[in-house]
Structure 1
Amino acid sequence: MNLPGQEEFEVSSACENVPTGELDSGPGSGPSPNGLSDTDRGELGVPKDPLLFIQLNELLGWPHALEWRETGRWVLFEEKLEVGAGRWSVPHVPTLALSSLQKLRSLLAEGLVLLDCPAQSFLELVEQVTRVESLSPELRGQLQALLLQRPQHLIQPIGTRPCQGSAHPREASHNEEAPLKEQRQNPLRRKLPPGAEAGAVLAGELGFLVQPLGAFVRLRDPVVLGPLIEVPLPSRFFCLLLGPSTLGKGYHEMGRAMAVLLSDPQFQWSVRRASNLHDLLAALDAFLEEVTVLPPGRWDPTARIAPPKCLPSQHKRLFSQLREVKGPSAGHGALTEDRYGHWPHAPSPELQRTGRLFGGLVQDVRRKASWYLSDFLDALHPQCFSAVLYIYLATVTNAITFGGLLGEATNGAQGVLESFLGTAVAGAAFCLMAGQPLTILSSTGPVLVFERLLFSFSRDYSLDYLPFRLWVGVWVATFCLALVATEASVLVRYFTRFTEEGFCALISLIFIYDAVGKMLSLTSAYPIQSPGYPAYGCFCQYPDLGGNESQWMRTEPKDRDDISSMDLGLVNASLLPPPECVRRGGHPRGPSCHTVPDIAFFSLLLFFTSFLLATALKHVKTSRFFPSVVRKVLGDFSSVLAMLLGCGLDSFLGLATPKLTVPSEFKPTLPGRGWLVSPFGANPWWLSVAAALPALLLSILIFMDQQITAVILNRAEYKLRKGAGFHLDLFCVALLMLLTSALGLPWYVSATVISLAHMDSLRRESRACALGEPRSFLGIREQRLTGLVVFILTGTSIFLAPVLKFIPMPVLYGIFLYMGVAAISSIQFTKRVQLLLMPAKHQPDLLLLRHVPLSRVHLFTAIQLACLGLLWIIKSTPAAIIFPLMLLGLVGVRKALERVFSPQELLWLDELMPEKERSIPEKGLEPEYSLSGDSEDSELMYQPRAPEINISVN
């Protein structure tokens, strides 16, 4: 059933550990009844069921004033009425007594069951339910009057204190079917998606009944039952459980049991399709077969279990349903399809070799052309404004930082202005043409290392750097075009988690190292002064009458007025400040004459303040503080708010902290050169051919850097629906290499951390959630406009110098540190490194540790650490020229690990290479693949979830 306007509730079903709230299988869906994928549903012809809201009304007051009162409600979890506090309890996992389920089954087996009841109003429904032989006409009339009595609901406004809710008693009315004003204004309506349905359970003890009365009704067409349900939803199910007072609270527990059954996805799916009493009891028996019994002496039934982060696996129920509908062999095929369908390197259209020259590029262009218009229309959302601010500041900071580093590495041949211009031109062009426009192009650490080596080589051999660099760029573009023509991008299937984690950890460490290093360098520019330390003195020196500087004198003046009368060549600046010294014709001498002692400490304060604020505000989004709208704003604008607060603090104190430096003139950094680089300059002609050798190494680096980032950004758990463009992206990078080399601009490639931050700022989450359910991740806002605007703003930042010059550099370094820490802390590699430092008894109960011995886990982690350390050492030494080959060597190391680890171990620790997936029989892996509902927050087997800056799948 497809319901309009349901985009925000669209989440994919999953058959593994599913994060709470990701049970919807498509637009207009409520909880997926049994984790069936859209493919299985299509094959089985199973429609998508609406979400079901269940309410328990209990009959109280016997034998005096009888009244119906709402005492519980369910969507996925249970909320109980706290009578004394006048509020609803925290949503929790319901616990039931086994006896209540058994009594409920007996009552339903002997009671009235109406399936596809044609009633169109609550009055007609009551007449149908009370039409039983055991009731005399007099009792039937009393019972009908009692059932039509309005129940009491607790309507609690959202955003108030819990105790501010109020109960509204209703007077009896036999004819009113329209929803009450309180129902229409109930804030709970905003928490339920359009198309949701209701189920009502009425239970209680009634003295004038001589035997229990049970009835279960499924309405043919959902009907709004007047004031019966606190939310005016059309009701699909109605259950009546009444009887004499011999059972005491037994009816209340049976009512809870019925409500829990209806809230169970599998039971709900079955009962919607039941055709008789036997089907209904079979669904209840299937539920009983899966319940967990806790020993009474080891568990307090009144304890409330908090909703889990991940709901249990639905595999067993899926297999049972598939076998029932499609036969015994259906379940095994479903496992294979679902299991491999979630693997990141499963064959996809983007990574299928066509066998034609430029065939992959042509397919990418055709695939992306159909989405081109929507790439701009989908950006018309307020969230994109937040993303533009966040990524713009990060991009500007990156351009300035790498521009400064590049200026130092090339002795001014390139600088901040070239970095700004190149970022704007290359980034904007890439966003307009690329297959994955969410990618942010930037200068990266590995490319900067290669630029430094290339300049050093040119200087050592007296070569003209920019012309030599031009031919290197031409050859790199040629090699990249050859890779596009031969569809070499399909080789990214061999980039497993081992390779991606090593690369991403290296890039994240570069971010952290640069941020901390730049911050510490400020302590040299603004030294910390210790009182009385002679190395930081400042003195005023006067010239004598002969024109020579006077000698040092140590005579102390009695007061400041006595300074002018003293025959001193040198006066202690503690008595004569530098401005006064200059006014009197002297010269301040000393390393700290123009330093402010507080700048270094205050810069450190701004550095850590911006880092901690950005981290804290990002976590507010998932906290329990503030309304959801406020939490979302604080989370989306965390980095921007941290920057604004840091700038405000700096402006308030007014210290001369180092500020952002933005060029104000549009001309090349290197004096005397134009914007177009001469092809040869002072270099011999044969150098244009010899440039192919370093270009080959750079091509490997560009290919690895670009494609690893592309693989990370296009993972299945990000739920991208417009497809990837591996060949088209590499083609665009090749063309931009030609352009930037000809203009003498920096080389650009996909920036992993900033691109992930870009995607994180565009996360789509559901607006409505079940009670106790966190917001579910729906995907990413895929569009081209945010990146395009970011790079246009970057290009115009030269003219925003009067505003940007007030941003302190320590604040920007703090944001850099936040991006690096957030990235490296979320990869599985980091979590396995933490296991090295944990005693076995304190380690989390991960699925990984259930299937792989701890020593083997540590060995795999140690190999990754060794590779990461080797990459860092090579990057930091003159041998960095072979750095691209070492990145490629990670794939070879991963291939060699197949001789050290078994396929089963690699399946859990990493991934299988494509040929291993085909060569290993799936039945050989089945026994180790747990189907037992493991529900912990495991970081194994790629799960459909996205963290904040999610590299949890690298």
Structure 2
Amino acid sequence: MPPKASDIEAGAGRNPIKRLPSNAELIPDAGKITMDEAAYFGKGIVKDMKTTVGTHWREEMTNFNQKTVAVSMLMFITVIAPTLAFGASYNTATESHIGAIETILATAWVGCAYAFIGGMPLCIIGSTGPVLAFTIVLYDMAKSLDIPFYTFYAWVSVWMMIYAFLCSFFDLTRFVRLATRFTDDIFAFLIVSIFVIRAIGDPFGGDVGLLWPFDPNHKNHNNQDEDYDYLQVALLGVILGFGTTWTIFFFRSFKNSSFFCNDTMRSSIHDFAVTFSVLLWTIVSKVIFKDVEVASLKVPDQFEPTFQCCDDACTMFFPRDCPDQAERAAVRPWFANMADTNGKGWAPIAAAGPAVLAFFLLYLDNGITWHLIMHKSNNVQHGEAYNYDLLLSGCFNLVNGLLGLPWLVATTVPCLVHLNSLSEKDKDGNVLYVQETRLTMLFSHMCVGFSILALDLLKLLPLPVLNGVFLFMGVSALPGIQFWNRFLLFFQQPSKYPETPYTKYMDKGRIHLFTIFQIAFFALVFVVQNIKAVAVVFPMMTFLCIPARTHLLPRFFEGWELVLLDGDIFEIQEWIDKKADSVAEYEASLRGELTDFEDGDSK
């Protein structure tokens, strides 16, 4: 029977009954985001070096085990396929000024160097769509200004390095550290959706994916052969691709099963699932269906600069610009001639302008991916190094610019795959432990480099099998994205919702409203990313999610709601503990045991 109001006010001769605090009163300023204290004049760089490379380097370079080998092989497959795909895109878009050889070389040396001296070695380095889009813009700009592309590209790289140094020196990376799960999930879901869409069939950006070969005019079809059946090829591609994805999940499921003799065997099957699946379906394609001409990975014939010259001046491309010439005169030199501005002495200064946008891409692509990987829920213990790694990224891309190689940044989905592959999780998907190592990045990127010596072997890999790996990478990352899990709540019975802090304490309508906000911002970023004319600014649109979270969402949600939906694990646990304490104290006061409760609590 509830107490009377007079009993509550007077205590009815007992200890007074305490008022149960509201959720908003439990933690003052809950959900408020504050900026870290600035570490100006290089202090942030020094701190990053001391707490990461300076503290954990030896451990991260010596923790070799079976998982290291398995994850290295997985990451090689994960990295080499998009490296070659981006190489082909660069080759077409820049008229062979940058090609597959350049992307392989850049990915290999930067990955190995970063593995040795980088501050956050869980983050995989590679090519991305926004950087490719900007490089195309830069190439067209160089043509319109009548400046040699390699020269202009190198000077933009110099300015980009200067901006990276200034940003790191004055700790401007603290702005990207304002990002919360709201922004992280939107960016992660965007990149995951790109992987899934491109693996199945991209309707926006080209004729890539498992379903596109059903088009009889697809570029991979051999229409010159009368016996060639494009439907047969397309159907086999679908079987290979989806078969690869299913087999990976099947092998990985053995880790928690009762089959096989011991945990070591089950862990081995789980760790090498991707490798086993790729080998299995490659054998199926090359042995069982050897007469079906499924497209294979496109690989250069030999290691040399992609741009071949009609003359010694290397101003014209062979054979396009000199079709009557029997042989090429040379290939372009590896180092750009910084002085060759074609009489445009102002070109080095003019390069400072586009370098601003180039740096912004570098800053955001790296920063948001780093923030996503270093989120507290991932239980990464070896520290973060935003300033130091941004400086390294500027240095690496300066070298790439001087060599005519593509710029590289942290790549989101490979980073997530790398993190998840090195993590041990409980049955609810919470990360218990991460094997933080430099060896997996080192070994995988060394394999990328050595692949230059075995280009013919790479040609054996069927393209649908690699699309199946991409599909696995995207789908396997979805359960770790809270945005996706909350989106699924729209289609679930409320009484069957999975138990999480927000489903336990919040009204379902409020949860759905927050998800709708994320859907709206995701749609905005997704649309911009898929409109080629403005795709280069999509990281800027992603960055706008940060002020939206700090200034817009607090107008619609209380602070405690933002903690449960968007806070880190420590903030959420603090609120839950205070909620439990307030309820226990209130119930004790109802029983007249407040004094005893407080005494016991103080002890």
Structure 2-normalised TM-score? 0.78
Q: In 2, Cα distance between the equivalents of 1:698 and 1:419?
A: 18
**How do residues 154-303 of structure 1 correspond to structure 2 at under 5 angstroms?**
none
CA deviation after TM superposition for structure 1 residue 813, in Å: 0.9
Matched residue SS, 2:68: helix
CA contact (8 A) 2:212 2:218 kept: no
Q: 2:349 aligns with which of 689, 692, 697?
A: 689
Q: 1:652 aligns with which of 287, 301, 315?
A: 287
Q: In 1, Cα distance between the equivalents of 2:581 and 2:409?
A: 39
Is 1:898 the counterpart of 2:530? The answer is no
Aligned CA-pair RMSD? 3.4
CA deviation after TM superposition for structure 1 residue 366, in Å: 2.3
Partner of 2:600: none
Change in Cα spacing, 1:840 to 1:594, as seen in structure 2 (3 Å) is same
| Matched residue type, 1:744 | G
Is 1:799 the counterpart of 2:453? The answer is yes
Matched residue SS, 2:534: helix
Question: Larger Rg: 1 or 2?
Answer: 1
Change in Cα spacing, 1:666 to 1:862, as seen in structure 2 (3 Å) is same
**How do residues 14-413 of structure 1 correspond to structure 2 at under 5 angstroms?**
353-355=38-40, 357-367=41-51, 368-378=53-63, 380-413=64-97
| Matched residue type, 2:468 | G
Change in Cα spacing, 1:888 to 1:712, as seen in structure 2 (3 Å) is closer
| Matched residue type, 1:393 | I
Change in Cα spacing, 1:888 to 1:715, as seen in structure 2 (3 Å) is closer
Matched residue SS, 2:433: strand
Partner of 1:633: 268
Partner of 1:247: none
Change in Cα spacing, 1:692 to 1:824, as seen in structure 2 (3 Å) is farther
CA deviation after TM superposition for structure 1 residue 835, in Å: 1.5
Q: 2:251 aligns with which of 584, 607, 617?
A: 617
Q: In 2, Cα distance between the equivalents of 1:402 and 1:370?
A: 36
* Structure with more of its chain in strand, by fraction: 1
Partner of 1:889: 544
Q: In 1, Cα distance between the equivalents of 2:583 and 2:276?
A: 44
CA deviation after TM superposition for structure 1 residue 485, in Å: 0.2
**How do residues 489-528 of structure 1 correspond to structure 2 at under 5 angstroms?**
489-517=173-201, 518-519=208-209, 520-524=211-215
* Structure with more of its chain in helix, by fraction: 2
| Matched residue type, 1:511 | F
Q: In 1, Cα distance between the equivalents of 2:468 and 2:337?
A: 40
Change in Cα spacing, 1:775 to 1:839, as seen in structure 2 (3 Å) is closer
Change in Cα spacing, 1:839 to 1:778, as seen in structure 2 (3 Å) is closer
Is 1:661 the counterpart of 2:298? The answer is yes
Is 1:743 the counterpart of 2:434? The answer is no
Q: In 2, Cα distance between the equivalents of 1:423 and 1:353?
A: 33
CA contact (8 A) 2:497 2:503 kept: no
Q: In 2, Cα distance between the equivalents of 1:820 and 1:761?
A: 13
| Cα deviation code 1:602-641 (max 9, x no counterpart) | 1111011111111222222223433422321121111111
More off after superposition, 672-681 vs 643-652? 672-681
CA deviation after TM superposition for structure 1 residue 782, in Å: 2.0
CA deviation after TM superposition for structure 1 residue 473, in Å: 1.8
CA deviation after TM superposition for structure 1 residue 894, in Å: 1.3
Q: In 1, Cα distance between the equivalents of 2:429 and 2:185?
A: 28
Partner of 1:453: 137
Partner of 2:226: 593
CA contact (8 A) 1:390 1:639 kept: yes
Change in Cα spacing, 1:345 to 1:904, as seen in structure 2 (3 Å) is closer
Q: In 2, Cα distance between the equivalents of 1:473 and 1:928?
A: 55
Q: In 2, Cα distance between the equivalents of 1:923 and 1:501?
A: 22
Partner of 1:608: 242
CA deviation after TM superposition for structure 1 residue 723, in Å: 2.1
Q: In 2, Cα distance between the equivalents of 1:826 and 1:759?
A: 11
CA deviation after TM superposition for structure 1 residue 411, in Å: 2.6
Q: In 1, Cα distance between the equivalents of 2:432 and 2:529?
A: 39
| Cα deviation code 1:672-706 (max 9, x no counterpart) | 32111222443723232232232222222211221
Q: In 2, Cα distance between the equivalents of 1:874 and 1:885?
A: 10
CA deviation after TM superposition for structure 1 residue 747, in Å: 0.7
CA contact (8 A) 1:618 1:635 kept: yes
Partner of 1:28: none
CA deviation after TM superposition for structure 1 residue 481, in Å: 0.8
Matched residue SS, 1:779: strand
Change in Cα spacing, 1:423 to 1:527, as seen in structure 2 (3 Å) is closer
CA contact (8 A) 1:358 1:486 kept: yes
More off after superposition, 892-901 vs 592-601? 592-601
Is 1:434 the counterpart of 2:115? The answer is no
Q: In 1, Cα distance between the equivalents of 2:194 and 2:37?
A: 34
| Cα deviation code 1:779-811 (max 9, x no counterpart) | 222222221121121111021123222211110
CA deviation after TM superposition for structure 1 residue 778, in Å: 4.7
CA contact (8 A) 2:147 2:341 kept: no
CA contact (8 A) 2:196 2:470 kept: yes
Partner of 2:314: none
Change in Cα spacing, 1:461 to 1:880, as seen in structure 2 (3 Å) is farther
CA contact (8 A) 2:130 2:536 kept: no
CA contact (8 A) 2:161 2:395 kept: yes
| Matched residue type, 1:675 | W
**How do residues 477-556 of structure 1 correspond to structure 2 at under 5 angstroms?**
477-517=161-201, 518-519=208-209, 520-524=211-215
Partner of 1:122: none
Change in Cα spacing, 1:685 to 1:661, as seen in structure 2 (3 Å) is same
Q: In 2, Cα distance between the equivalents of 1:614 and 1:857?
A: 33
Change in Cα spacing, 1:929 to 1:754, as seen in structure 2 (3 Å) is farther
Q: In 2, Cα distance between the equivalents of 1:924 and 1:650?
A: 54
Q: 1:730 aligns with which of 381, 390, 394?
A: 390
Is 1:674 the counterpart of 2:344? The answer is no
| Cα deviation code 1:5-57 (max 9, x no counterpart) | xxxxxxxxxxxxxxxxxxxxxxxxxxxxxxxxxxxxxxxxxxxxxxxxxxxxx
CA contact (8 A) 2:335 2:402 kept: yes
Partner of 1:785: 439
CA contact (8 A) 2:125 2:411 kept: yes
Change in Cα spacing, 1:740 to 1:728, as seen in structure 2 (3 Å) is same
CA contact (8 A) 2:377 2:431 kept: no
CA deviation after TM superposition for structure 1 residue 831, in Å: 1.1
Partner of 2:515: 861
| Cα deviation code 1:378-418 (max 9, x no counterpart) | 2x212211111111111111211111122222232211111
Matched residue SS, 1:660: coil
CA deviation after TM superposition for structure 1 residue 451, in Å: 2.2
More off after superposition, 641-650 vs 895-904? 895-904
Change in Cα spacing, 1:684 to 1:928, as seen in structure 2 (3 Å) is farther
Change in Cα spacing, 1:890 to 1:439, as seen in structure 2 (3 Å) is same
| Matched residue type, 2:124 | I
Q: Which fold has the larger relative contact order, with Cα–Cα distance below 8 Å and residues 6 or more apart in sequence?
A: 2
Q: In 2, Cα distance between the equivalents of 1:671 and 1:683?
A: 24
| Cα deviation code 1:553-582 (max 9, x no counterpart) | xxxxxxxxxxxxxxxxxxxxxxxxxxxxxx
Partner of 2:372: 712
Q: In 1, Cα distance between the equivalents of 2:95 and 2:343?
A: 19
| Matched residue type, 2:439 | L
CA contact (8 A) 1:662 1:798 kept: no
CA contact (8 A) 1:389 1:640 kept: yes
CA deviation after TM superposition for structure 1 residue 504, in Å: 0.9
Structure 1-normalised TM-score? 0.51
